[in-house]
Amino acid sequence: MTYFADLTPYTYSRDDDTVRYEWGTLNYRPRYERLNVGWLDASQPFDTGPVPDWFADALLDIVGNPSVNERRGLHLCEFCPSDTSLIADPRSDGQSWLAFREIRVPARPGVMFAAPALVWHYVSAHDYRPPAEFVEAVQRYDADWATEPSPWIPPDAERAVWGRTPRNVMLRCVRCGQKFELHYTPSEPGRRAVSLATQQLREQCPDHGKEWEFWDKIR
Ligand SMILES: [Zn+2]
Ligand SMILES: [Zn+2]
């Protein structure tokens, strides 16, 4: 895994954050500075030592609440044998991997700690002791930071909605990112939305064919 020293500015993936909800995802340029915590690597020493009794459980409660930046990278534990280095969320019967997600923990106004979900495993299995300010931030964690309206999320955040029936919704070309509105009106009865979308995307992006996804914008 890529190593980043604790409390350095986050540069692991792009300059946007994607938060997952039950209905879909929100993507935005953060209104907060991101500070790394827990990006450990076998090539670098890390702080170990006692942490408060409640700490590991509190950290696990933050994983998935909400889930951030899913599948931007694969985070394996380099301190476990390679055949067990893909760590599961213990609450999920091995169905959900910590390797594919991150967490955000508000530190102070305008500053957010950014950690791989694997940080829970480092603490509980390898005695990793994160910086004291991170421990304190976990103790007072409030998942409401991700509920809009939120001072942490800009008003131009964009959302992608799962499984929505297309009816005048925004589509986005997967290849070039160009967005356009799908015009799906009752005046075209019997016409399947998917073929309409494909036709309209071909008009908008002649080079890209039919790779598109639903895309909504908060207004
Ligand atoms: Zn491990
Ligand atoms: Zn395109």
pLDDT above 70: percentage of residues in the chain: 84
Domain boundaries, the chain: 17-146, 163-217
**Ligand lying nearest the CA atom of residue 207:** 2
Q: Please list all protein residues whose beta carbon sits less than 5 angstroms from ligand 1, which is an ion.
A: 77, 79-80, 125
Indicate if the pLDDT at residue 218 is higher than 50.
Answer: no
pLDDT tens for 41-86 read: 999 999 999 999 999 999 999 999 999 999 888 888 999 998 888 9
Question: Dihedral sign, CA of 191, 194, 198, 204?
Answer: positive
Going from the Cα of 203 to the center of ligand 2, the distance in angstroms, rounded, reads: 10
Going from the Cα of 174 to the center of ligand 2, the distance in angstroms, rounded, reads: 7
HSE value, Cβ hemisphere, 13 Å, CA-based, for 26: 21
Going from the Cα of 176 to the center of ligand 2, the distance in angstroms, rounded, reads: 4
Interface predicted TM-score of the whole assembly (ipTM), two decimals = 0.53
